[in-house]
Structure 1
Amino acid sequence: MGFILPYLNLNATFARSMPCKGNIALFSQSGAICGAILDWAAAANVGFSSFVSVGSMLDVDFGDLIDYFGMDIHTRSIVLYIESITNARKFMSAARSFARVKPIIVIKSGRFKEGAKAASSHTGAMAGEDEIYNAAFKRAGIVRVKHIADLFNCSSILAKQPRPTGPSIAIITNAGGPGVLATDAIIEKGGKIAQLSDETLKKLNEFLPPHWSKANPIDIIGDADEEKYRKTIEICLDDKNIDGLLIICVPQVVADPKVLADKIIDISKKAVKPILVAFPGEESVYHARQILNRNNIPAYSTPEEAVESYMYLYHYSRNLELLFETPEELNIKTSTIYQEKLKNTIKKALKEKREILTESEAKEFVEMYGIKTTKPEIAKSENEAVKIADKFGYPVVMKIYSPQITHKSDVGGVAINLQCKETVKQEYKDMIKRVKGKKPEAKIIGVTIQKMIESKGVELIVGSKKDPVFGSAILFGMGGIYTELFKDKAIGFPPLNQVLVQRIIEKTKAYKLLRGFRDFPPVNMHRVEETLISFSQMIIDNPEIKEIDINPLIATRDELIAVDARIILDSKPWEKPHLIISAYPSKYIKKVKLKDGAEVVLRPIKPEDEHMWQEMFNSFSEETVRFRFFRIIKETPHEMRTRYCNIDYDREIGIVAEINEKGKRRLLGVTRIIINPGESDKAEFALVVSDKWHRLGLGSEFIDYTIEVARDKNLKKIYGIVLKDNTPMISLCKEKNFKITSGDPGEYNIEYDLKK
């Protein structure tokens, strides 16, 4: 369809009209949807900063558009109509970069297989599974809506109202029924009914009739006029317990909807909290809704619509808050020797034209990443089976051993709770016969015997599969016999940290069991978190894993044990995406010695460093702060700290210097390169060293390593700005052969050519 840029009065589409200027950038894969939105926008007085119909995205895609309009001064929020995503990593990187400051709202078609087929025929690309799309949007901090009406409603509140700061809503209504419906909608969507303060109740009692509701919803009774509405609204806006207002006016004899609309408009001009209005009905309230919408007050025909819009935006804010919560550092280690051994296992299997690892091989994989397993032994005869069972001690579990059989239970290839020699002998014969009958083409080598886990615990499943769009996705939920029955699962993407793992676990029904439920004692949640992070690292390290199941993973009070594991290999992993979010670049870890002999580790910064980053900042003198940030900064709130610690390694590398003094870890400084959108061959550069560690050679080490890292990322140039009175940095740049030129008043521009 083309594109429209209202601020340039440029309309390069088939649309006849130019939309109003506004702060929403809309990108759509459907031209018809674009046309519908333009028509709606004109009626609702919603303006746009840009309007782009992208079609099949053969050149410019969603990632490019988010990057470009994310930097646009006229754009405050981004709305997407998506049928498919072509470059998931680029999309996620762009969305994560801007979603913190500019809300991104998505409607994704093809939520079911039949719809996905229609979408793929329209765009020429395969649609991914809907649950994986959901997880990806959540990880990027994107708000997903399901209906076009929700897209409009969310756009409206984004464009017209302050962002919600909390879930507590006050309902002001002149009728009880709509107030109850609004209450139900708020609770259903995860909101809260605001608790009115004593002061608010006292003020309302002064002018409302004696039989008003005395609580929230604030039913001011059917004979309430516009003046009672006005006073009630103003009092509620002053209540600190209230995060937002929903004003409902059912057509009655007293209150004139148009006059009330004018009063709400006047109040909203000074309000710092979102105000939403529901005028149920049509003929007598239609024009009042139009007046409100044209004056930046979202007005709806039902209370439920208003509540849904509010809660979408609240969940957006809350999701970002949770995503950027500081994770606890967990000590997860893997050995290079182990990794080499596992790579050899993969090579051996693929050389033998096996894409499925044996249970022993799969469990060896899992064990190497610190996840305890039951270790099976192979028995090729009934006597061998008895000998192994005697060694393990009864009861034992027997499983068929065949390279062609992965789902052993489906062919009768699993027997549990074998209590003695006789049952082991008999079951060996019966199992071989049973499986041969059901799978005559399979080569049966024998059986495996392993100790049966008798402790009562929660049966979990942890798995991963490669999605054709989003690469490796991790699944967690209730396992064992409950897997197919409850379909209890949550999906995430590697790399995972402690906070992200927590969010995944909390989405499942299994979470309640893990915390302790009836006969199930509480499980050590740290162990569960460590297990999932180790599992995530295993997926990161091994792109050859196409699919893996650990099911069941039994969680008891003190430990987790993988009872079964299955791994399917990908013989051509390079043909499919692997990670859509860049993993921690551990290759950039190195040790250096300073002039005083102190040994320092240079390594990439990570989200877990936030507290150490704050300690380092607190050690800076005012001059050091000014040299680095070009102004004096006294406070560094959590949002600022996460901006520097929780980064996308595809776009930015922050290298910290860490020292361990008598068991206390400290950060001594940071050097950083930032690759801005549209500048793939160059990066902005800055560094800072804590005052105590000046003149010990750390700055020189930082610059040398920054140049090394920049070259590794195939950059051609690094550049930056230095204040003219920052003489130590200027001297260092001269020593390292930076090109130094005059910039803005009081500043030098520095530049280093990486090609020389």
Structure 2
Amino acid sequence: MTIRNLQYLFQPGSVAVIGASNRAHSVGATVYRNLLDGGFHGAIYAVNPRHTTLAGRPVYPNVPALPAAPDLAVICTPAATVPDLVGQLGALGTRAVIVLSAGLDGALRQAALDAAKPHLLRILGPNCLGMLVPGIGLNASFAPTGALPGRLAFVSQSGALVTTVLDWARTRGIGFSSFVSLGDGSDVDVGDLLDYLAGDPGTDAILLYVESIRHARKFMSAARSAARGKPTLIVKAGRSLEAAHAAFSHTGALAGADLVYDAALRRTGMLRVLTTEALFDAVAVLARPRALRGPRLAIVTNGGGAGVMATDALIAGGGTLATLTPATREALAAVLPTTWSNGNPVDIIGDAPPERYRDALAVLQGAPEVDAVLLLHAPTAIVPSAAIAELLLPLLRTATRPVLTCWLGGDSVATARRLCHDAGLPVFDTPEGAVQGFLQLLQYRRNQELLMQVPPALPGGVVDRAGARVQVAKLLARGATRVGEADSKTLLAAYGIPVAQTVVAATADDALDAAARIGYPVAVKLLSPDVVHKSDVGGVVLDIDNSDALRQALSDIPERLAERQPGARIDGYTVQTMVRRPGAVELIVGISTDPVFGPVVLFGQGGLAVEVTADQAIALPPLNRVLAADLVSRTRVARLLAGYRDRPPVHMEALCDALVRIGQMAADLPELAELDINPLLADSGGVIALDARVRLAPVAAGADPLARLAILPYPDHLERRVPWEGEDVVIRPVRPEDGPAHVAFFAALSAEDVHFRLFAALRELSPAQLARFTQIDYAREMAIIASRTMASGTAETLGVARVVADPDNIRGEFAVTVRSDLKRHGLGRMLMTCLIDYCRAQGLAELGGTVLPDNVRMLRLARELGFTAARADDVVVLRLVL
């Protein structure tokens, strides 16, 4: 991923239009006119051998004839000319090109990329509409209308949608910092633009319209980085193309493409919406946020009907209506008439003057049981709506929690809407729309929480990874890509997942012997390479209590198979202990491999009718218990798992633990293409896998086993134990659970050391800062800590060395801090040496840092490690070529 030279797209000093024309309605004529009319103050060049002037300006016959290298060139010529033009522009010194031309097939597209590469020239497109940067008057597009300046960035893979949204936004006064049509995205893609816009000081929020993603790791890493700092919203089109397919397992068939995209987008911390209109509604809420602490909404209304409509929409959307405490109801009763609703929604009665709205809102803003407030107002002839808005604005501007406003009606509430909109408040036209805005805010908060989850590796000794890998290698060596129940359960057992005891029997006599060893009752199942679902052909018999019943079952199974699937082979049978757990819920858990995002974990309601019930959710591995619980919560069967009537709740800790282990299998075993556990029985006693199947796929020798993962897991291979001061310390990457130790570490730093590290006085870490330091994306940054175990058994952080790589993976910015009372004992050198080795292994070319001049110890250490030092203003810049 790279943002190299993208500044020439977004902030060019000069622009050339290759193929500029005066032919009416042509692309070249439209782009040239848009550039001239947009107010761009830099040089504008036109290139066309058929003209000498256009719009009173000189036209140059070809690229070499240009008087200077334009920062940005827009190519409007036929597809076949594009590669040569790219090469000429690169040789001239141009560093960014927008290719509007359509029809570049694979060979032409690659030729253009090859021509650009020696010059580090970036290509937007081909087959795109262009881009607009209203703040500098740049309209390098053939859009029929321009864009208003603003602080929203919009990126779209659809050119047609660009023109629609531009027109739609202009009529509503919505402005943009930039507006980009990606086209085919052969070079500059969504990930690159996310990285650039995340660091753009003129952009407050990022809006995306995406139809497909090609590079999952790149997209996920860029999206997660962007969403940490700015509201980032996405419309992912193509929801109806589920791409469910016939597969070896139920999981493979159920893991539709849109479910996978939805799971991926949840993990990025972005908010997914379904329409472009919802996109702009959502940004109205998210771009001016107040911290949302929870899901409880209070509704204030001057009309009971509007309150009921909002409540219905809230409950239907899975929201929570705040339950007012007696203290809150008493405070409201003191400022409202006796006829108020005495509950939530808070109906303040239709004749409410402005002061009644203000007083009710003030009470709810201080109520601990309320997380957000929705104000609904229906116009009346008693009090002008504008008067209410004017009185409420000071309170709304200083609100400590989100307040959404809904002014019902038309002209009579237009002024009130405008006043709230101009004050930067979310404004909605209907109760349902306002509730949807709150639900979007709530979903965004949940996604941000998921974004902060960086699953750790499973504890050592619990998982036999080596044994599982040996078994996979043996199965592939004998050509067994479709793995039956017994071998599949062996793999599950290696990861600590409870399984029903199962024995493979080649013949009926072997099955009788196995049952005698296991002990009755047993279940017997057909083994056949030709049968996908054994129950469909009568190949499963349960609750067999004695040998006579087993003989009969072993006689009946081949007869039913011959009748229902003639010609199918029989390789034998599996005999397993009959698990009798009345009241247990049948679940399905599995792994499938998505062509874009790699392995995914599926969870849902299991059993024979699994495809019919279609109750499943998907998550990207690796998982932790928070992510596993979220996965479970997104299914309908979750309500059964919570218990009902005389059924106790399922042992959720055991279930989530099993899901975490399945996710670890997906991360550890690159050959694992599909896994199906159906059913996984779950009850208050735990979980147990009754049936399982696996499909393996060979992996090329030397291939990176983590390359297929969209999110990198905790890099446990970097852990090492080293001697230090007469004891052993562990040098390892930071983990999310290091949060408490990191707080204690920070508290042990002297004021001088905090100043040296942060260039500021700070005595404690905010939750956001703590998350930023301990919940990192290993794909683009690393924090290596020195840790030791105290007598209490808890971990103690002694020092940390951190590096953040640029999106090009060329330069890393480092920082190192050692606990103040442990200096001069070699910890800093040890951590920096580990960090430098890590950066070299990652392929970074350079490591740099900024140090205050009076941080003498750091400067001395850096020089001893080979860094050069150069004074720049009030700091010293360190540099190490790797």
Q: TM-score, normalised by structure 2?
A: 0.77
Matched, 1:670 2:800: yes
Q: Contact conserved, 1:553 with 1:562, CA < 8 A, in 2?
A: yes
Supply the AA of the counterpart residue of 2:467: Y
Residue in structure 2 matched with residue 217 of structure 1 by the alignment: 345
Secondary structure, in 3 states, of the residue corresponding to 2:178? strand
Q: Contact conserved, 1:327 with 1:499, CA < 8 A, in 2?
A: no
Secondary structure, in 3 states, of the residue corresponding to 2:778? coil
Q: Give the one of 472, 480, 488 matched to 2:615.
A: 488
1:515-563 deviations in Å (ceiling 9; x for gaps): 5444544444333232222211111111211110112222354443222
Matched, 1:749 2:877: yes
Query: What displacement does 1:281 show?
Result: 3.1
Query: What displacement does 1:108 show?
Result: 1.8
Distance 2:742 2:658 in 1: 27
1:302-361 deviations in Å (ceiling 9; x for gaps): 111112112211331244235537989963543453144134224324xx2x42013222
> Taking structure 1 as reference, are residues 742 and 255 closer, same or farther at Cα in structure 2, changes over 3 Å only?
same
Residue in structure 2 matched with residue 89 of structure 1 by the alignment: 217
1:660-681 deviations in Å (ceiling 9; x for gaps): 344443222111111133x312
- Structure 1 unaligned runs (5+)? 118-126
Query: What displacement does 1:645 show?
Result: 1.2
Query: What displacement does 1:232 show?
Result: 5.3
Query: What displacement does 1:229 show?
Result: 4.7
Residue in structure 2 matched with residue 396 of structure 1 by the alignment: 522
Query: What displacement does 1:496 show?
Result: 0.8
Secondary structure, in 3 states, of the residue corresponding to 1:25? strand
Q: Give the one of 432, 442, 447 matched to 1:314.
A: 442
Secondary structure, in 3 states, of the residue corresponding to 1:345? helix
Matched, 1:702 2:822: no
Query: What displacement does 1:512 show?
Result: 4.5
1:131-165 deviations in Å (ceiling 9; x for gaps): 22221111111212223332121122334564544
Residue in structure 1 matched with residue 718 of structure 2 by the alignment: 588
Supply the AA of the counterpart residue of 1:591: R
Secondary structure, in 3 states, of the residue corresponding to 1:113? coil
Matched, 1:475 2:602: yes
User: Map of 1:552-631 to 2, 5 A cutoff?
Assistant: 552-571=679-698, 578-594=708-724, 596-631=725-760
Query: What displacement does 1:377 show?
Result: 2.3
Secondary structure, in 3 states, of the residue corresponding to 1:84? coil
Matched, 1:723 2:849: no
Residue in structure 2 matched with residue 689 of structure 1 by the alignment: 818
Deviates more, 1:103-112 or 1:32-41: 32-41
> Taking structure 1 as reference, are residues 115 and 78 closer, same or farther at Cα in structure 2, changes over 3 Å only?
farther
1:450-474 deviations in Å (ceiling 9; x for gaps): 2211233333221010111221110
Q: Contact conserved, 1:86 with 1:469, CA < 8 A, in 2?
A: yes
> Taking structure 1 as reference, are residues 232 and 698 closer, same or farther at Cα in structure 2, changes over 3 Å only?
closer
- Structure 2 unaligned runs (5+)? 1-128, 246-254
Q: Give the one of 525, 546, 549 matched to 1:423.
A: 549
Residue in structure 2 matched with residue 446 of structure 1 by the alignment: 572
Query: What displacement does 1:177 show?
Result: 1.3
Residue in structure 1 matched with residue 160 of structure 2 by the alignment: 32
> Taking structure 1 as reference, are residues 676 and 583 closer, same or farther at Cα in structure 2, changes over 3 Å only?
same
Matched, 1:387 2:513: yes
Q: Give the one of 596, 616, 634 matched to 2:763.
A: 634
Deviates more, 1:689-698 or 1:574-583: 574-583
Distance 1:279 1:143 in 2: 25
Deviates more, 1:727-736 or 1:314-323: 314-323
Distance 1:472 1:244 in 2: 38
Distance 1:392 1:274 in 2: 61
> Taking structure 1 as reference, are residues 202 and 500 closer, same or farther at Cα in structure 2, changes over 3 Å only?
closer
Residue in structure 1 matched with residue 663 of structure 2 by the alignment: 536
Secondary structure, in 3 states, of the residue corresponding to 2:764? coil
Q: Contact conserved, 2:153 with 2:207, CA < 8 A, in 1?
A: yes
Deviates more, 1:129-138 or 1:571-580: 571-580
1:101-135 deviations in Å (ceiling 9; x for gaps): 31111222211128999xxxxxxxxx972222221
> Taking structure 1 as reference, are residues 265 and 614 closer, same or farther at Cα in structure 2, changes over 3 Å only?
closer
Residue in structure 2 matched with residue 737 of structure 1 by the alignment: 866
Q: Contact conserved, 2:671 with 2:696, CA < 8 A, in 1?
A: yes
1:337-390 deviations in Å (ceiling 9; x for gaps): 3144134224324xx2x4201322212211111123234323233222211111
Distance 2:640 2:867 in 1: 60
Residue in structure 2 matched with residue 548 of structure 1 by the alignment: 675
Q: Contact conserved, 2:206 with 2:231, CA < 8 A, in 1?
A: yes
Matched, 1:112 2:273: no
Residue in structure 1 matched with residue 538 of structure 2 by the alignment: 412
Supply the AA of the counterpart residue of 1:414: V
User: Map of 1:158-173 to 2, 5 A cutoff?
Assistant: 158-159=286-287, 162=290, 164-173=292-301
Query: What displacement does 1:218 show?
Result: 3.8
Residue in structure 2 matched with residue 53 of structure 1 by the alignment: 181
What RMSD in Å do the two structures reach over aligned CA positions? 3.1
Matched, 1:280 2:378: no
Deviates more, 1:336-345 or 1:59-68: 336-345
Q: Give the one of 459, 463, 474 matched to 1:345.
A: 474
Identity %: 38
Matched, 1:497 2:609: no
Query: What displacement does 1:42 show?
Result: 2.7
> Taking structure 1 as reference, are residues 36 and 204 closer, same or farther at Cα in structure 2, changes over 3 Å only?
farther
> Taking structure 1 as reference, are residues 539 and 312 closer, same or farther at Cα in structure 2, changes over 3 Å only?
same
Q: Contact conserved, 1:370 with 1:534, CA < 8 A, in 2?
A: yes
Supply the AA of the counterpart residue of 1:687: V
Q: Give the one of 262, 265, 269 matched to 1:137.
A: 265
Distance 2:552 2:331 in 1: 81
Q: Contact conserved, 1:196 with 1:215, CA < 8 A, in 2?
A: no
Residue in structure 2 matched with residue 9 of structure 1 by the alignment: 137
Deviates more, 1:127-136 or 1:388-397: 127-136
Matched, 1:65 2:190: no
Q: Contact conserved, 1:22 with 1:159, CA < 8 A, in 2?
A: no
Secondary structure, in 3 states, of the residue corresponding to 1:378? strand
Q: Contact conserved, 1:329 with 1:608, CA < 8 A, in 2?
A: no
Distance 2:321 2:508 in 1: 64
Query: What displacement does 1:648 show?
Result: 0.7
User: Map of 1:320-335 to 2, 5 A cutoff?
Assistant: 320-321=448-449, 323-324=451-452, 331=459, 333-335=462-464
Secondary structure, in 3 states, of the residue corresponding to 2:179? strand
Query: What displacement does 1:280 show?
Result: 2.7
> Taking structure 1 as reference, are residues 215 and 539 closer, same or farther at Cα in structure 2, changes over 3 Å only?
closer
Q: Contact conserved, 2:643 with 2:650, CA < 8 A, in 1?
A: yes
Q: Contact conserved, 1:2 with 1:12, CA < 8 A, in 2?
A: yes
Distance 1:163 1:615 in 2: 26
1:718-740 deviations in Å (ceiling 9; x for gaps): 11122222222222222211112
Secondary structure, in 3 states, of the residue corresponding to 1:305? helix
Q: Contact conserved, 1:200 with 1:235, CA < 8 A, in 2?
A: no
Matched, 1:436 2:436: no
